[in-house]
Amino acid sequence: MLDRLLEFVALLRQNGVRLSPAETLDALRAVDAVGLDDPRALQGALAATLVKRATDEAVFDELYELYFFRQGDFASRAMRPDGAPLVEELRARGFTDDEIEALLAVLADEASRMSPTARMGLGLRRGHVEALVRLAGVQVDLGRLVNPLQIGFFTQQLVERLQFRQAETELNHLRARLERTLGTARADQLASLLVDNLGRLRAAVRRWVADEFERRNVQFVEQWREATLAEKPLAQLSEEEIARLRDEVKRLARKLRQMASLRPKVQRRGRLDARKTLRRSLRTGGVPFDLRRRRRRVERPRLVILCDISDSVRNVSRFMLQFVYLLQDQFAQVRSFVFVSELGETTDLFRRHEIGRAIELAYGGAVVNVFANSNFGRAFRQFRERFAEAVSSKTTLIVIGDGRNNYHPPEAWALGELRSRARRVLWLNPEPPLSWAFGDSAMREYEPHCDRIEVVQNLASLKKVVDQLVL
């Protein structure tokens, strides 16, 4: 028992609880006094001697339950309907109850040695971001959060202080250790599930920061919400308000379709083509036996659309997906793609389903993992490597997104190569130019490779694009 208690004290220190040798000796005496028969009495004795600050209580309670409860007890509690969220995911992926119970026992032992973020990423207990911040002992001065454009910056700060990169490393090492127990296939399934869990946790951090902004800036938010629909930012629109934008999107799509180029083509009927007729008559001594005619026909533009559907532009991306869907519905030659960190094609998805279902599937992860961080550079590089043939001198490439790259390499050269192949590149961005040099925006790197960048952040600017855009 002495070794177990000393290891537990080491885990508390590892998780930020300050403990002296004297306090460890007090804990040993307390355990000797209460005995080991009653788990709750043991917990109370250890808490009385080891916990000095209120902020340490949550860390102590979580580690105590993971470390001291018998593995069977922990697994049985976790498999109850109100138990670990991980259990629901494992069952959905085909794990049997026996496999889940054995896995929970192993994970509970591993979790006690992990960082708070990695533990919450495991999904062994239901929690929220506020609890994670408290468990990790992280302090962020949100008093300086006075503008919605700062939400991404403060989210990045919080993600760094919560050590998400370390958590990813810990979960990767865990997968390697579990492979010997579970086998490669099951270990890969579990690793994929844990990556998704961590992605959802990262998205929850951003939502928590956004909620904190609203709580701390009530008057600002209320004024924003009272703005007219024409001036209201797309990121703040409700589902009903987004639905009202559909008519404008349809109008834009119709206008783009009408902006078709004309080119002459030889036809059996139509206007006489004097130049070609005279050239043909040279072989008959100038007698125009072979008349050549021409008729101007409509050539439908070819469009390729890349749309960012990351969590940072949730409402905007839903609206933009409606835009992409309706463009594809209006044109015969359109290929559409969505991306967050990875790139996926939605052309067939949008053809098979009606607009509501198609957008639900795209944003629900049917094409790419929507819980990842935006990586425009990787998306452009993947498109260049896998779909470059879709872009030709007749193609207009439309990029839709805020250009916020989460500090990843922008890979602007890939967009430049696509521009050299395309007829033109048009970028629709929900953020104004003043924000392009702020935080993780890579728009300044992408700007030289675009023929035109239009700011579409509300209905008024959308109407301006509809009225002024000339492809």
List, run by run, the mean pLDDT of 10-residue segments along the chain (471 residues): 74 77 85 79 85 77 64 47 66 78 76 80 72 70 75 86 87 81 80 84 85 68 53 61 64 59 47 77 74 61 85 70 72 83 91 83 85 91 93 89 91 95 90 86 94 81 61 44
Residue 248, burial from CB neighbour count under 10 angstroms (0-12, 13-18, 19+): middle
* 238 and 291 belong to one structural domain: no
* 365 and 460 belong to one structural domain: yes
Could you tell me if residue 26 is inside a domain? yes
* 308 and 294 belong to one structural domain: no
Residue ending a domain, choose from 248, 277, 299? 299
Give the range of the structural domain holding residue 27, as residue numbers without chain letter: 2-219
Residue ending a domain, choose from 191, 219, 247? 219
Could you tell me if residue 426 is inside a domain? yes
* 311 and 393 belong to one structural domain: yes
**Domains contained in the chain, number:** 3
* 354 and 462 belong to one structural domain: yes
Pairing status of strand 261-267 against strand 302-308: unpaired
* 240 and 113 belong to one structural domain: no
Q: What is the pTM of this model?
A: 0.47
Residue pair 116/15 in contact by the 8 Å Cβ criterion: yes
Tokens standing for residue 373:
């961080």
* 295 and 308 belong to one structural domain: no
* 278 and 330 belong to one structural domain: no
3-class SS of residue 469:
coil
* 253 and 267 belong to one structural domain: no
CATH value at residue 328: 3.40.50.410
* 275 and 252 belong to one structural domain: no
Q: List the one residue out of 303, 335, 309, 304 whose CA is nearest residue 321.
A: 309
Could you tell me if residue 227 is inside a domain? no
Could you tell me if residue 201 is inside a domain? yes
- In the numeric block, the tokens 């250790």 are attached to 177
Q: Looking at the DSSP assignment, which residues form a beta bridge with residue 305?
A: 336, 398
* 189 and 41 belong to one structural domain: yes
Could you tell me if residue 144 is inside a domain? yes
What's the pLDDT score for residue 195?
83
Could you tell me if residue 139 is inside a domain? yes
Could you tell me if residue 267 is inside a domain? yes
* 119 and 215 belong to one structural domain: yes
Could you tell me if residue 226 is inside a domain? no
Long-range contacts formed by 10-15: CB under 8 A, 24+ apart: 11/63, 11/67, 11/112, 11/113, 12/50, 12/56, 12/59, 12/60, 12/63, 14/113, 15/59, 15/63, 15/115, 15/116, 15/135
Using CA atoms, how far apart are residues 77 and 293, in angstroms rounded to an integer?
Answer: 83
